Amino acid sequence: MAFYYRLFGVIADIALAANVVMLIALLSMLPTTLSLPGIAGILLTVGMSVDANVLINERIREELRNGSTPQASIRAGYDKAFATILDSNITTLIAAMCLWIFGSGPVRGFGLVLALGILTSMYTAVIGTRAIVNLVYGNRRVSELAV
């Protein structure tokens, strides 16, 4: 993402790292052991977080191409991508809860890690990156903004 989206990609990579750190911190508070299905849940969480950041960055690019100001592009990009990100995360959260409720052993662990990962991903991909992007790009002109 850093190569394709430049600074927006670096911000997304920082959010991914924060997502993994938050998820590991949550898992360390639970009386569970991280197994291979749990690691798979972490990897799926990272993939979904990348997808959320790609959606947001593409929407911002689209708004910039339409001639919007940087602040308006950032606002519109996040607002337009939010519904799609929320829908996909709720759907995955429902599936993760079903795995946790109806599964046994490793399947339950996968469902738990995935559910926690979706919650942390939603926070870092939408709230965390928006705060950093607004901080960095909030006052720049279109000619200075490179997405």
Q: Is the distance from CB of 45 to CB of 114 less than 8 angstroms?
A: yes
Pair 113, 45: CB distance under 8 Å: yes
C-alpha to C-alpha distance for 91 and 29, rounded to whole angstroms? 26
Token pair for 55 = 């959606």
- Residue 66: both structure tokens together: 């339409």
The pLDDT profile of the chain, 147 residues, written as one tens digit per residue, is 889 988 889 999 999 999 999 999 999 999 888 889 999 999 999 999 999 999 999 999 999 899 888 888 889 999 999 999 999 999 999 999 999 999 998 999 999 999 999 999 999 988 999 888 888 876 665 555 555
| Closest to 145 (Cα-Cα) out of 81, 68, 78 | 68
Task: Determine the 3-state secondary structure of 41 from DSSP.
Answer: helix
Residue linked to tokens 């947001």: 56
Q: Report the SS3 class of residue 46.
A: helix
Query: What are the structure tokens assigned to 91, written together?
Result: 């759907």
Confidence (pTM) = 0.84
